[in-house]
Chains A and B, each alone.
Chain A
Amino acid sequence: QSALTQPPSASGSPGQSVTISCTGTSSDVGGYNYVSWYQQHPGKAPKLMIYEVSKRPSGVPDRFSGSKSGNTASLTVSGLQAEDEADYYCSSYAGSHVVFGGGTKLTVL
């Protein structure tokens, strides 16, 4: 199965907002409200930031928000902070398995 499509990079200045897209198909992103987003800092295990499109696990700042329209999901980081610089991956349930996006490197300028 094909990976979900993410832009390889995104950037923003501290305090700004940035949105990362994640495009799939009607068999994954568009077919289920089971899109998740993960943050990974270098050398660390990924961390769940968003699940079920827009829900935040306990402890995740409300600066992180998720949405979906059709076959494309989005992660928005508002009020960018230096510690937000990391790789971000989307994933989606796809019927009997899970598919990840290729990842987006977020740079805080």
Chain B
Amino acid sequence: EVQLVQSGAEVKKPGESLKISCKGSGYSFTSYWIGWVRQMPGKGLEWMGIIYPGDSDTRYSPSFQGQVTISADKSISTAYLQWSSLKASDTAMYYCVGEVAATGRAFDIWGQGTMVTVSS
């Protein structure tokens, strides 16, 4: 079964760092793009960026460039999203997404989501 499994919920304080993960299985991890999508509480979807694990080519949304870092470790089929200094406004559900069977930057595989809560 093709799936993306994300790390568990996190509760952090403002200013702390964080790295959440997304492990792919059931397909060739290095051959398909993996992205991250943010959904703030009660709000819509926002595309953050995407990485090609085969060569680590990474693209960011202008809105998130410089705010987060997307990376991948192909040896363990895992992608990451990290922050160096969290803000309360980073509180959201974060989904990792895969463009596997679909094309044209359409994401047919979604992780279960990682809830990040930033509060003092």
Chain A residues within CB distance 8 Å of chain B: 1, 3, 32-34, 36, 38, 40, 45-48, 51-52, 55, 57-58, 87, 89, 91, 93, 96-103
Contacts and interface: CB of A to CB of B under 8 A. Distances in A.
A87 B46 CA distance: 14
B45 interface: yes
Interface stretch (B8-16, B71-79, B104-112): B104-112
Interface size, B (range): 20 to 34
Contacts, number: 76
A39 to B, nearest CB: 11
B110 A45 contact: yes
A33 B104 CA distance: 8
A95 to B, nearest CB: 10
Given A1-B63, A100-B45, A101-B44, A93 B105 contact: yes
A20 to B, nearest CB: 14
Nearest to B93: A45
What's the dominant secondary structure at chain B's contact region?
Answer: loop
A51 B107 CA distance: 9
B47 interface: yes
A68 to B, nearest CB: 12
B44 A97 contact: no
B19 to A, nearest CB: 21
8 contacts: A36-B102, A36-B106, A36-B107, A46-B95, A52-B103, A57-B102, A91-B45, A98-B61
